[in-house]
């Protein structure tokens, strides 16, 4: 198949040559903040994770698309990322679950991609210089470079409002009722909660008073995109709820809970994006292999209330916090793990035990 030539440009002027695939935008340019993901599989779940809003995903695994796509693997109704970068695209998928090729999926959702990129070089550059804004496309290289220099990162930007559900909806059943804030919630999270509780998923803009009117037994704070420091109103709602109802947070929800407990956040150089990060549970000393997707983290020694429960063994980043007095806990990584290992799914059982006993204990 003859493809259209394309270029990828970073804001610092670094250029890469490749070929366009997926949707071809009319102006020939897609822009955003470039990050790399080290997962060996699960590209569809990664692409449809709302936490990637405002970002362009570069896959370090060299072959992407080899097992096609299926609606069963969607983590949202559509992709929210700004584009996809791969070394080699598999045109002919081979898997019994597949309903079509990745490229067709991307065209359907008007998502642009660039292939033939030296993703090893790109990854090494991002590791050395941090996540960088930029652009790619089949427009004239000078236009792509100009767009790259004007592109912005995710700092101080609220992406949550754009990815959150506009209306509340319910899933699951059970004798316990959990209200989940949708900051960009993944389908797998809703499924894990729905297998244990009656879940009401509410917009991110829901106030504390509106939430109380739903009479929840517990509150869940979901994952989501962007800079937690730009979400002061959301953090204020969480702070108002602390102590009055048990709370469990994941990823962005973890950062918002930490902020409500007095902590600050900072941006990591190139973030954690992959399915193989080792995390230590400081309470049990158990080591979990975890799936992660975040560019921001809780600042060490900034937590005013509560305690650190988990740490990343690669770089020491805070991976979990808890407060026994306030009956709340959270983790930076993804225990629902879509894609990724299932080592941490016990945390959903821990949340259920908290709701049933009123005590934050191990499971």
Active-site annotation holder among 288, 319, 322, 336: 336
Does 334 participate in catalysis according to the annotation? yes
**Distance (Å, rounded) from C-alpha 51 to C-alpha 89?**
23
Active-site annotation holder among 251, 273, 277, 319: 251
Question: Residue ranges of the alpha helices (H) in 52-175?
Answer: 102-108, 119-129, 141-150, 160-163
Helix (H) or strand (E) holding 235: helix 232-241
Question: By CB neighbour count within 10 A (0-12 exposed, 13-18 middle, 19+ buried), where does 176 fall?
Answer: middle
Does 251 participate in catalysis according to the annotation? yes
Torsion from C-alpha of 35, 202, 42, 137, nearest 10 degrees: -40
CA 72 vs CA 45, 75, 97: distances in Å: 10, 9, 9
**Distance (Å, rounded) from C-alpha 213 to C-alpha 191?**
24
Question: In 3-state terms, the chain is what percent helix, strand and coil (to 5)?
Answer: 25, 30, 45
| CB contact at 8 A, 131 and 271 | yes
- Catalytically active residues are 251, 334, 336
């Amino acid at each position: 198949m003859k493809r259209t030539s394309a270029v990828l440009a970073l804001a610092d002027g670094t250029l890469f040559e490749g070929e366009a695939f997926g949707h071809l935008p009319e102006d020939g340019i897609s822009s955003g903040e470039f990050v790399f993901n080290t997962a060996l599989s699960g590209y569809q779940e990664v692409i449809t994770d709302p936490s990637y809003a405002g970002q362009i995903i570069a896959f370090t695994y060299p072959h992407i698309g080899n097992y096609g796509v299926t609606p069963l693997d969607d983590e949202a109704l559509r992709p929210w990322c700004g584009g996809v970068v791969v070394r080699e695209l598999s045109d002919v998928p081979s898997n019994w679950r597949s309903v079509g090729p990745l490229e067709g999926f991307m065209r359907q959702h008007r998502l642009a991609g660039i292939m033939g990129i030296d993703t090893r070089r790109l990854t090494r550059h991002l590791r050395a210089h941090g996540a960088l804004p930029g652009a790619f496309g089949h427009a004239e290289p000078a236009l792509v470079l100009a767009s790259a220099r004007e592109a912005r990162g995710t700092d101080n930007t609220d992406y949550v409002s754009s990815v959150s559900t506009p209306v509340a909806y319910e899933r699951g059943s059970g004798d316990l009722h959990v209200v989940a804030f949708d900051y960009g919630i993944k389908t797998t999270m809703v499924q894990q909660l729905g297998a244990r509780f009656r879940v009401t998923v509410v917009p991110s803009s829901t106030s504390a008073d509106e939430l109380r009117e739903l009479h929840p037994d517990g509150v869940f704070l979901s994952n989501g995109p962007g800079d937690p420091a730009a979400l002061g109103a959301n953090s204020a709602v969480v702070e108002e709820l602390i102590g009055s109802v048990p709370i469990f947070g994941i990823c962005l929800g973890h950062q918002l809970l930490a902020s409500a407990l007095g902590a600050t956040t900072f941006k990591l150089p190139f973030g954690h994006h992959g399915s193989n990060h080792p995390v230590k549970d400081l309470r049990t000393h158990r080591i979990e292999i975890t799936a992660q997707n975040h560019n921001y983290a809780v600042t060490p020694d900034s937590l005013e209330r509560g305690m650190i429960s988990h740490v990343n063994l690669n770089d020491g980043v805070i991976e979990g916090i808890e407060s026994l007095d306030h009956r709340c806990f959270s983790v930076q990584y993804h225990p629902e793990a879509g894609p990724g290992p299932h080592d941490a799914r016990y945390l959903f059982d821990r949340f259920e035990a908290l709701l049933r006993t009123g005590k934050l204990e191990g499971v």
